[in-house]
Each structure stands twice: as structure tokens, then as C-alpha cells.
């Protein structure tokens, strides 16, 4: 049996591993357009490679996918985060789970993750074909003919498409897999960038660039209302961080720009009620009547943000506590609990994954095999599956790749 796996990223590499392990007699070809494997894997997580999540309850893991969770059920049960961690540990990559339950190589090097696969492939004599750009695929009876740009065509019994999405194009993720899937009869859903930073119309956030919050509640008002809570950071262009990436994932198919801005609302102090904020501020103010109000406010938020709060509410920066009116106090408290920002763009080039992909109804979730073209399998980001940050997208790639490799290698 000859199996072609097109795409040497996370899903493709794991598909090759599973095919080799499940059927040692199979000839496994891993076809990659670059001159090395796992380029996107290496740069993920800032070069540290967030391998998977430390969450072990599968129900909770599946809640981290805004698209494709139900479809992923079989794959994740078959190769859950614990099994992924065990595989890497057994193949020479010690891991560590950080406080936020993100799992990384103990070395903090994404290269170690890819090296584990390279070592495996050398030992199992996997045929890795570098600099092979697939031009087209033809189905002839029970065989697949793969035509390359500059090399001769090759014939295979099974094909796994694991070419990824369109994010990180500099790594070779150009979306080629979508056209190959369409050639073989599959539909591609609408595509959009996901997990990106957001650009605000307001310019004042750049004054707070680098200021972060561990827990903030967000509401976004598009075609419907979206909500998410978590950490974020102000940037030179607007807002970023885990909660913003997740919010952008929920907003992936919302259209917004300068002419059609999207409103979001932030509760910067979700652990305190409006009345509690008023009481705490009033208590400090009554004891420090001659001090500037911004110092009272800095008891709740950093002084830099307190300054912005006063500027945005047109309150003099040096106004003291004894001079502040009840109305002004309530305005500031309201601002902290429902800060409004106007979103006009996603940060170009910063999308980590692509939302959308091969229509899931056309793929058997128990095997990853096409329902339209027998012998064709899918794995990874090419599918209409995407998750939040925290190792969930790599987990989906490992899981679907493993299931596709096992299924395709069965005689």
C-alpha cells in the first residue's frame, strides 16, 4: 500500500507517524513544498510551540472550538491531550504544563517538537519529499495520480490532504489544499482569518501600550452579541492578547472596517459591581479631600489608565477629590464597567489560523475519510475547524492527523 500525505505540518507529520505505526508494511510518502518540515509548528507560541492543552476532560476541551467541536469528538477521544503529551514524552520531548494549562516543550524550543518527527521518520524509513509542489490530483479507478510542478507524477492508493489553511503564508500555508479538495469534489466554506489582534478607531490605546489585565469581560455587537472573558493587553494599534484572539475567532465572519465599525464593550473590573466601585472611591476621597482624584482612581486601575479615564470623561487631571461632583464620579465608574471601543480592522498578517475550510458534512468524522471520494482523507486546518489559543489548534491537528493516518493505513 502506498500512502501520500500532502503537507508536512502538524497534521501531516502526525498522519505519517500513525500510518507507519499502524501498518509498518505501508509505503508512506510525506510530501512538503518547503525544504524542511513543520515551519508553522516551530514558530507557533512565539517559537516555544504550545503543543497541546493541560485540560484533560474532553468535554471541556471541545468547548474551546467555536467551529467543528462536534465533528472533532471522535478524533479527540481517540487521541486526547494526555495521549499527545505521552507521545512526545516517549519520543524524546520532555514537556511542562504552565499555570494557564498551556503545554510546552521543557526546552521552550519548537524545533525539538519537529526533531522528534524527523527522528521517527528516519527510523521508520518514511519517504519525505521536500520541494514538491502538488499541481493537481487525479482519481483513476482506485488509484490517485499526483502531478507535481517540476517532478514526475506519482501514483498512490490513499491520499491524506493536510495542507493547512492560509495563516502564516510565509511558512508556505498558501491555501493550496482547498483547490485540491475542490478538484476531488469537495466544497470549501467561506474563509476568514481567526485569532487576530484588533485595531481600534480610538488612538488613545497606544498611550497604554503594554498595559495588561488578567481578567476582563468583553461584549461585541455585530450581527449578534458575542461575549468572552480573559486576559488582554493594550497595544500601539488597539488591543491584543488571549481574550482578544478568542473574541476575534467569534467575530471571524463579521465584516467590519472604517466605514462599518464594530462596537465592543469592556468591563475592566468584572470582580467589582458598579456600586462597590463607587463606595471604594468615595471612601478614599472622603479621607483625602485635597488629593487629586486620579490618585483615588489609581487605587483601582493603573495611574496611566486613570489619566486616560479622566481625559475621556473631560475631567481636569488635577481636580481634587473635594471638587469632584457625584455625576463625574458616576461617569468614571460607568466608563470602567462599560468602556466602549470601536473596532475597524483585524491586525494584518497576525491571524494564527483560518476559520472555514472543507465542508465537514462531506467527511466521515470517525475516520477522516471523504464521503465523496473514497481513499481520500483530511487532517488539520484544511477542515472547517478552529479553536482558541492555548494549544487547541495543534491538538486538533494531532488528533485528526492521527485518526486519518490510522484509517488510511488499514488494508
pLDDT at 168: 47
Q: For the chain, what are the domain ranges?
A: 2-192+353-408, 196-350
Q: How do residues 273-292 score in pLDDT, each as one tens digit? A: 999 999 999 999 999 999 99
Q: Print burial letters for 354-381: b (CB count within 10 Å at least 16), e (below 16).
A: bbbbbebebbebebbbbeebebbbbbbb
The C-alpha angle with vertex 173 and arms to 382 and 10, in degrees rounded to 5, equals 65
Q: Do 281 and 329 touch, CB atoms closer than 8 A?
A: yes
CA dist., res. 404 & res. 118, Å (int):
19
CA dist., res. 187 & res. 247, Å (int):
27
Query: For the chain, percent helix, then strand, then coil, each to nearest 5?
Result: 35, 25, 40
**pTM recorded for the entire structure:** 0.91
Q: Do 168 and 399 touch, CB atoms closer than 8 A?
A: no
Which residues in 210-282 belong to E strands, given as ranges? 212-221, 225-234, 238-240, 262-267
Distances (CA, A) of 112 to 44, 92, 405: 13, 9, 22
What is the CATH number assigned to the segment(s) 2-192+353-408?
Answer: 3.50.50.60
pLDDT tens sequence for the chain (411 residues): 999 999 999 999 999 999 999 999 999 999 999 999 999 899 988 899 999 999 999 999 999 999 999 999 999 999 999 999 999 999 999 999 999 999 999 999 999 999 999 999 999 999 999 999 999 999 999 999 999 999 999 999 999 999 977 654 444 445 689 999 999 999 999 999 899 999 999 999 999 999 999 999 999 999 999 999 999 999 999 999 999 999 999 999 999 999 999 999 999 999 999 999 999 999 999 999 999 999 999 999 999 999 999 999 999 999 999 999 999 999 999 999 999 999 999 986 555 788 999 999 999 999 999 999 999 999 999 999 999 999 999 999 999 999 999 999 998
Residue length, the chain? 411
CA dist., res. 24 & res. 18, Å (int):
10
Amino acid at each position: 500500500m502506498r500512502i501520500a500525505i500532502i503537507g508536512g505540518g502538524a497534521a501531516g507529520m502526525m498522519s505519517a507517524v500513525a500510518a507507519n505505526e499502524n501498518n509498518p508494511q505501508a509505503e508512506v510518502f510525506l510530501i512538503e513544498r518547503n525544504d524542511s518540515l513543520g515551519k508553522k509548528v516551530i514558530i507557533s507560541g512565539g517559537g516555544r510551540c504550545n503543543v497541546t492543552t493541560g485540560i484533560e476532560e474532553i468535554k471541556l476541551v471541545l468547548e474551546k472550538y467555536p467551529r467543528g467541536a462536534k465533528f472533532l469528538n471522535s478524533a479527540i477521544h481517540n487521541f486526547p491531550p494526555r495521549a499527545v503529551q505521552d507521545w512526545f514524552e516517549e519520543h524524546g520531548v520532555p514537556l511542562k504544563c504552565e499555570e494557564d494549562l498551556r503545554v510546552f516543550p521543557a526546552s521552550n524550543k519548537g524545533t525539538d517538537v519537529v526533531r522528534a518527527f524527523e527522528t521517527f521518520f528516519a527510523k521508520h524509513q518514511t519517504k519525505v519529499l521536500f520541494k514538491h509542489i502538488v499541481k493537481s490530483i487525479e482519481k483513476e479507478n482506485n488509484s490517485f495520480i499526483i502531478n507535481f510542478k517540476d517532478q514526475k507524477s506519482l501514483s498512490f492508493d490513499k491520499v491524506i490532504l493536510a495542507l493547512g489553511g492560509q495563516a502564516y503564508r510565509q511558512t508556505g500555508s498558501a491555501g493550496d489544499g482547498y483547490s485540491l479538495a475542490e478538484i476531488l469534489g469537495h466544497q470549501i466554506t467561506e474563509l476568514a482569518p481567526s485569532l487576530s489582534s484588533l485595531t481600534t478607531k480610538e488612538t488613545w490605546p497606544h498611550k497604554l501600550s503594554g498595559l495588561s489585565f488578567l481578567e476582563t469581560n468583553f461584549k461585541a455587537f455585530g450581527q449578534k452579541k458575542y461575549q468572552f472573558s480573559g486576559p488582554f493587553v493594550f497595544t500601539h494599534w488597539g488591543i491584543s492578547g488571549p481574550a482578544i484572539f478568542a473574541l476575534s475567532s467569534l467575530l471571524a465572519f463579521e465584516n467590519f472596517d472604517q466605514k462599518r465599525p464594530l462596537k465592543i464593550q469592556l468591563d475592566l473590573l468584572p470582580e467589582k459591581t458598579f456600586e462597590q466601585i463607587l463606595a471604594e472611591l468615595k471612601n478614599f476621597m472622603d479621607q483625602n479631600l485635597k488629593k487629586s482624584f486620579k490618585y483615588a482612581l489609581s487605587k483601582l486601575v493603573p495611574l496611566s489608565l486613570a489619566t486616560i479615564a479622566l481625559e475621556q470623561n473631560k475631567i481636569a487631571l488635577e481636580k481634587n477629590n473635594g471638587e469632584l461632583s457625584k455625576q463625574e464620579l458616576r461617569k468614571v465608574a460607568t466608563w470602567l464597567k462599560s468602556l466602549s471601543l470601536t473596532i475597524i480592522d483585524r491586525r494584518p498578517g497576525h491571524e494564527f489560523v483560518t476559520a472555514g475550510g472543507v465542508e465537514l458534512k462531506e467527511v466521515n468524522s470517525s475516520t477522516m475519510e471523504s464521503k465523496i471520494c473514497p481513499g481520500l482523507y483530511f487532517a488539520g486546518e484544511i477542515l472547517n475547524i478552529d479553536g482558541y489559543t492555548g494549544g487547541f489548534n495543534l491538538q486538533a491537528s494531532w488528533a485528526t492527523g492521527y485518526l486519518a493516518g490510522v484509517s488510511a493505513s488499514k488494508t
